[in-house]
Structure 1
Amino acid sequence: MPSHLSADHPAAQPPGRGTVEALISQTRRLRGDMDAVRRDARSDGSEPRDRWQRALYDLALHQLNDLDAHLAQLRDGPPPVTATARADRAPAAVPAARGDSLLSRVGSAEWNLLTDHASWSGELYEILGRDASTPPLTLDELPSLVFDADRPKLTSMVTDCLVDAKRIDGEFRIVRPDGGMRTVHMMGEPVLGSDGSTASMWAVLRDVSELRRSQRAVSETRDSLRRPRDVARSEHGPAVEPQEAVLPPWHGSLRLPRQDGPHSLDLAARRLPASPGELTGGDWYDALELPEGETLLSVGDLTGHGVAVTSGMAMLLGAVRGMAMAGTRPGKLLAWLNQLLDTTVEPALGSAVCCRYRPEARTLVWAQAGHPAPLLFRNGTGRRLNAPDGVLLGATSGATYGEAEEALEEGDLVLLHTDGLVPGSSGTDAGPRLTDLAPRFAEARTAQDCLRMVVEEFGETARQDDACVLIARVTSARVTS
Structure 2
Amino acid sequence: MPSHVSADRPAAQPPGRGSVEALISQTRRLKGDVDAVRRDTRSDGADPEERWQRALYDLALHQLNDLDEHLAQLRDGPAPPPCGPDTEPLPSAPPASGSLLSRVGSAEWNLLTDEASWSAELYRILGRDPAAPALTLDELPSLVLDEDRPRLTTMVTGCLVDAKPIDDEFRIVRPDGGVRTVHMMGEPVLGGDGSTASMWAVLRDVSELRRSQRAVHETHDSMQRRHQQARTEHRLAVELQEAVLPPGRDALRLPRRGPGTLEVAARCLPSASGALPGGDWYDALELPDGDTLLSVGDLTGQGVAVTSGMAMLLGAVRGMAMAGAPPAHLMSLLNQLLDATVQPALGSAVCCRYRPTTRVLTWAQAGHPAPLLFRGGTGRVLSAPDGVLLGATSGAGYGQAEVTLEPGDLLLLYTDGLVPGHSGADSLDSLLGLTARFGAARTAQDCVTAVVEEFGESGRTDEACVLVARVGE
Q: Secondary structure in 1 aligned to 2:301?
A: strand
Map 1:39-438 onto structure 2 (within 5 A): 231-259=229-257, 261-438=258-435
Q: Give a deviation string over 1:113-162, Cα, whole Å, max 9, x none.
A: xxxxxxxxxxxxxxxxxxxxxxxxxxxxxxxxxxxxxxxxxxxxxxxxxx
Task: Report the Cα distance in structure 1 between the residues aligned to 2:426 and 2:370, rounded to whole angstroms.
Answer: 11
Task: Report the Cα distance in structure 2 between the residues aligned to 1:445 and 1:249, rounded to whole angstroms.
Answer: 20
Q: Which has the larger radius of gyration?
A: 2
Task: Report the Cα distance in structure 2 between the residues aligned to 1:229 and 1:438, rounded to whole angstroms.
Answer: 44
CA contact (8 A) 2:263 2:471 kept: yes
Q: Give a deviation string over 1:217-256, Cα, whole Å, max 9, x none.
A: xxxxxxxxxx976654442111111111010114322100
Q: Secondary structure in 2 aligned to 1:291?
A: coil
Q: CA deviation at 1:276?
A: 1.6
Q: Secondary structure in 2 aligned to 1:266?
A: strand
Task: Report the Cα distance in structure 1 between the residues aligned to 2:450 and 2:355, rounded to whole angstroms.
Answer: 27
Task: Report the Cα distance in structure 2 between the residues aligned to 1:233 and 1:368, rounded to whole angstroms.
Answer: 35
Partner of 1:462: 459
C-alpha change, 1:461 and 1:237, in structure 2 (3 Å) is: closer
Task: Report the Cα distance in structure 2 between the residues aligned to 1:417 and 1:229, rounded to whole angstroms.
Answer: 32
Q: Give a deviation string over 1:331-376, Cα, whole Å, max 9, x none.
A: 0001000000001000100000000001111111000000000000
Q: CA deviation at 1:315?
A: 0.2
Task: Report the Cα distance in structure 2 between the residues aligned to 1:423 and 1:228, rounded to whole angstroms.
Answer: 29
Opposite residue 348 of structure 1, the aligned amino acid is A
Opposite residue 456 of structure 1, the aligned amino acid is E
Equivalences, count:
250
Task: Report the Cα distance in structure 1 between the residues aligned to 2:248 and 2:421, rounded to whole angstroms.
Answer: 27
Task: Report the Cα distance in structure 1 between the residues aligned to 2:448 and 2:253, rounded to whole angstroms.
Answer: 15
RMSD: 1.6
Unaligned runs of 5+ in 1: 1-47, 49-226, 477-481
Q: Secondary structure in 2 aligned to 1:282?
A: strand
Query: Deviation above 3 Å: which 4+ runs of structure 1?
Result: 227-234
CA contact (8 A) 1:296 1:324 kept: yes
Q: Give a deviation string over 1:66-108, Cα, whole Å, max 9, x none.
A: xxxxxxxxxxxxxxxxxxxxxxxxxxxxxxxxxxxxxxxxxxx
Partner of 1:439: 436
Q: Percent identity?
A: 71
Partner of 1:185: none
Task: Report the Cα distance in structure 2 between the residues aligned to 1:446 and 1:473, rounded to whole angstroms.
Answer: 8
CA contact (8 A) 1:229 1:277 kept: no
> TM-score, normalised to structure 2's length?
0.51
C-alpha change, 1:392 and 1:367, in structure 2 (3 Å) is: same
Task: Report the Cα distance in structure 2 between the residues aligned to 1:287 and 1:270, rounded to whole angstroms.
Answer: 12
CA contact (8 A) 2:248 2:266 kept: yes
Task: Report the Cα distance in structure 2 between the residues aligned to 1:228 and 1:428, rounded to whole angstroms.
Answer: 39
C-alpha change, 1:426 and 1:232, in structure 2 (3 Å) is: farther
Q: Give a deviation string over 1:274-317, Cα, whole Å, max 9, x none.
A: 12211111000000001221000000000000000000000000
Q: CA deviation at 1:429?
A: 3.5
Task: Report the Cα distance in structure 1 between the residues aligned to 2:334 and 2:291, rounded to whole angstroms.
Answer: 21
Task: Report the Cα distance in structure 2 between the residues aligned to 1:473 and 1:229, rounded to whole angstroms.
Answer: 44
> TM-score, normalised to structure 1's length?
0.51
Opposite residue 475 of structure 1, the aligned amino acid is G
Q: Secondary structure in 2 aligned to 1:416?
A: strand
Q: Secondary structure in 2 aligned to 1:313?
A: helix
Q: Secondary structure in 2 aligned to 1:292?
A: coil
Opposite residue 278 of structure 2, the aligned amino acid is G
CA contact (8 A) 1:423 1:461 kept: no
Q: CA deviation at 1:428?
A: 4.7
- Matching of residue 450 in structure 1 with residue 444 in structure 2: no
CA contact (8 A) 1:233 1:278 kept: no
CA contact (8 A) 1:257 1:293 kept: yes
C-alpha change, 1:387 and 1:421, in structure 2 (3 Å) is: same
Q: Secondary structure in 1 aligned to 2:336?
A: helix
CA contact (8 A) 2:317 2:330 kept: yes
Task: Report the Cα distance in structure 1 between the residues aligned to 2:261 and 2:387, rounded to whole angstroms.
Answer: 28
Q: Give a deviation string over 1:251-277, Cα, whole Å, max 9, x none.
A: 322100012x21100010000011221
Partner of 2:33: none
Unaligned runs of 5+ in 2: 1-45, 47-224
